[in-house]
Amino acid sequence: MRADYETLAKTIASLTEGETDEVALMATVACEVHHADGRFDWTGFYRAVAPELLKIGPYQGGHGCLQIPFSRGVCGAAARSGEVQLVPDVEAFPGHIACASSTRSELVLPVWNAAGDLIGVFDIDSDQPDAFTQEDADQLAAILRQVFGQS
């Protein structure tokens, strides 16, 4: 099953309309995205809680790392650079943090609030190699802007 991004975006918009609590929004997005696509093995947020530090937020799937410094891993790279990280093979990514040994590929998107502040990253892991496409990245970035970029 592949995500139907048009339907997913409409569903998330309907579920999150009027909500301003970031954790509630993250929980809803993680749940809806996780169940929308069979490639998504772990789906969740790491919240920017201190300078150069991410902590686990709402997620779906097995356990995640509790803390990730901006200096380490794919999530850290997304937070540090402010750029989407589309990683077809996590073993080839320098400094990859193996929170789950089953992860083969990863997509991490920075998440910004309406004021332009980095509030975290949205991390999707797959147990399949090269599972993610640029379309996945673009569609999910649009959903994140729709949910978190509102004032």
- For residue 46, what pLDDT is reported? 98
> What is d(CA 52, CA 61) in angstroms, rounded to the nearest whole number?
25
Identify the band that residue 151 occupies on the pLDDT scale cut at 50, 70 and 90. low
Mean pLDDT of the chain: 94
Identify the band that residue 54 occupies on the pLDDT scale cut at 50, 70 and 90. very high
> What is d(CA 107, CA 124) in angstroms, rounded to the nearest whole number?
5
The C-alpha R_g of the chain, in whole angstroms, comes to 14
pLDDT tens-place string over residues 103-115: 899 999 999 999 9
What's the angle, vertex CA 101, arms to CA 95 and CA 104, rounded to 5? Answer: 70
Structurally, the chain folds into a number of domains equal to 1
pLDDT tens-place string over residues 55-105: 999 999 998 899 999 999 999 999 999 999 999 998 888 877 777 778 899
Backbone angles phi, psi at 142, to 5 degrees: -65, -40
Helix (H, G, I), strand (E, B) or coil at 36: coil
Provide the sign of the torsion angle of the four alpha carbons 69, 144, 32, 124, taken in this order: negative
Question: Do 109 and 137 meet the contact criterion of CB atoms below 8 Å apart?
Answer: yes
Which CATH number goes with the domain that contains 77? Answer: 3.30.450.40
The residue whose two tokens read 């949910």 is 147
Best CA proximity match to 130, nearest among 81, 91, 96: 91
What ranges in 17-52 are assigned the alpha helix state H? 22-34
Best CA proximity match to 140, nearest among 25, 6, 47, 17: 6
pLDDT tens-place string over residues 103-148: 899 999 999 999 999 999 999 999 999 999 999 999 999 999 999 9
Best CA proximity match to 103, nearest among 141, 73, 143, 79: 73
Quick check: 27 pLDDT over 60?
yes
Residue that wins the pLDDT comparison between 63 and 33: 33
- For residue 1, what pLDDT is reported? 80
Domain containing 105: what range?
5-148
- For residue 117, what pLDDT is reported? 96
